[in-house]
Structure 1
């Protein structure tokens, strides 16, 4: 199997340099490496040019739209498997060999691996929860854990994930109503859609990246805008993929209101603004999720311009049928996904 590795970057040329260096030291060479740059100054372009065969793509709409950059890269991919890592995620030497192993099973549609953040004990924490959706709507992580074997999960982490190219083409790529620079939940949304097609999602603990969290071009991780986006996108994910008639989104809403209010009560000083930010993100996300559900219903495909481009790009490469037929689309207005 041939792997196209897509690296999305924004204003972190030093991280891109190290990322490309690691990717070129694989025990088994990667078929194709694509750098998608969302920065106006294109600092990553000369760095990419120093590495033979690397495809550099400029995304003029990439600022704050990491998900859009993932789709732009997909349009240039030629591999059977499309792998995504962040620009500050550095692959281990056997990454390319390990990420494709679970695809020997034709029922596997997506594969991810470990993301090591340098947190003490991460390798032994959460083996029974890694990559799970909880009954209350939580999206569990624990992607640093070493499970000791390949295990099935519900979703993957964005800095270390891969998918069959034909499945991405069939679905029209990532939905783009999950804005942000990181932690945007578009990967969880995509995994939900892949599972609804009947495919399995696997976690291989031997496909490893070191995720070092390079400084961001705009803002800081865990600041108020970050907290708003994470809460907003999480609630959109839960509502969009379950619908307002399902009790799960409302259970999630009650849990989030209660959790955030309890934290406020415990740490009243300096926490009021954070509570307000979280509440705003929660309700904005719920509204967005209801809107997207109304537009698309249970249709798993993207139906906007980018979705159609991706479907057309991979239409000729589809070599096998989906595990289950896609549902018929619901009539919808011809508007952009980024609403």
Structure 2
């Protein structure tokens, strides 16, 4: 099988260098490497002009629009491999990453996607832990991630994580990443829309903790600053999640989803119970998150109704 690796990058040349060096060390060589670079990203263009690609079959795709969705769709148009793997510029795949990805796709022709663990580094510390449940969509609409903490044997999941996911080109067909995902950079939950669409089409999504990358969360250059609350980024996150869930949950479960979303929710998309839980530690921020969650949910509902009316 021919392997394409697709990396969207923006203004993080030091992180990108680490990623490219890791790809040079793969036990299964990369057949095509696509870097998607913003036209205004002078830092990355200057880095690439000096970088010694050695055996990497590197090609660049220029994108003028902001956001990871536009970047991935631009890169997707250039993919020629039988399998294409996506990782972030602030990640470093383990040496056997592509070898293990290939083994899964060769083992079962019904596998459409493969993902694995991202070992998250914070300075000298690595976030450690063990979670047996990874990438599952529950009946009420709650999504369990835990891709960075997954342990155990390879198994079927519903959702893969953007920093470490691969797809069979045959399975993709004409599918594109959803341009309705809000945000000017990370566009959180874009991968959920993509993988749930493939899952609904009958393709298996496999999570294998041994298909691993080291992840060094780097600075973002948009409204989403990871650990600092930003109202716009927060509303975008909830909007994206809600829109995807409304489109992929059976209509018979929409009432249950809305009851759970408004009354319970999660730490990222608050309902009343989560607001009460966070109130002692976050105070007014918890209240802003609750209002932002409800706004994001409502905006997604309006968009869903308009599209389906």
TM bracket (short chain): 0.7 to 0.9
Question: Which residue does the alignment assign to 1:268?
Answer: 283
Structure 1 residue 24, shift from structure 2 partner: 1.2
What SS does structure 1 have at the residue aligned with 2:5?
A: strand
Structure 1 residue 60, shift from structure 2 partner: 0.2
The one of 136, 155, 161 equivalent to 1:157 is: 161
What SS does structure 1 have at the residue aligned with 2:196?
A: helix
What SS does structure 2 have at the residue aligned with 1:117?
A: strand
Q: How does 1:113-152 map to 2 (within 5 A)?
A: 113-118=116-121, 123-127=128-132, 129-152=133-156
Structure 2 residue 235 is the aligned partner of structure 1 residue 228: yes
Question: Which residue does the alignment assign to 2:113?
Answer: 110
Question: Which residue does the alignment assign to 1:9?
Answer: 9
Q: How does 1:170-209 map to 2 (within 5 A)?
A: 170=174, 172-180=175-183, 181-182=185-186, 184-209=188-213
- Alpha carbons 1:12, 1:217 under 8 Å: kept: no
TM-score (norm 2): 0.85
Structure 1 residue 23, shift from structure 2 partner: 1.1
Q: How does 1:56-71 map to 2 (within 5 A)?
A: 56-61=60-65, 63=66, 65-71=67-73
What SS does structure 2 have at the residue aligned with 1:43?
A: helix
Q: Cα RMSD between the aligned structures?
A: 2.3
Question: Which residue does the alignment assign to 2:258?
Answer: 250
Structure 1 residue 56, shift from structure 2 partner: 0.9
What SS does structure 2 have at the residue aligned with 1:205?
A: strand
- Alpha carbons 1:48, 1:56 under 8 Å: kept: no
- Alpha carbons 1:114, 1:160 under 8 Å: kept: yes
Partners of 1:193 and 1:37 in 2: how far apart?
27
Corresponding pairs, count: 290
The one of 88, 92, 95 equivalent to 2:94 is: 92
1:66-122 CA deviation, whole Å, 9 max, x = no partner? 112111100011100111111111111111101121112001110011111148895
1:189-244 CA deviation, whole Å, 9 max, x = no partner? 12111112211110122211111101112342142233222111111111122365
1:126-184 CA deviation, whole Å, 9 max, x = no partner? 21x111112221221111235332111111001100111122124x2212111232262
Structure 1 residue 33, shift from structure 2 partner: 0.8
In the alignment, structure 1 segments of 5+ residues that lack a partner are: 296-339
| Large movers: runs of 4+ above 6 Å | none
Question: Which residue does the alignment assign to 1:168?
Answer: 172
Structure 2 residue 247 is the aligned partner of structure 1 residue 240: yes
- Alpha carbons 1:16, 1:88 under 8 Å: kept: yes
Is the strand fraction higher in 1 or 2? 2
Partners of 1:167 and 1:48 in 2: how far apart?
32
- Alpha carbons 1:90, 1:210 under 8 Å: kept: yes
Question: Which residue does the alignment assign to 2:268?
Answer: none
Structure 1 residues 270 and 147: CA distance shift in structure 2, 3 A: closer
1:2-48 CA deviation, whole Å, 9 max, x = no partner? 11111011221221121111111111211111111235134223434
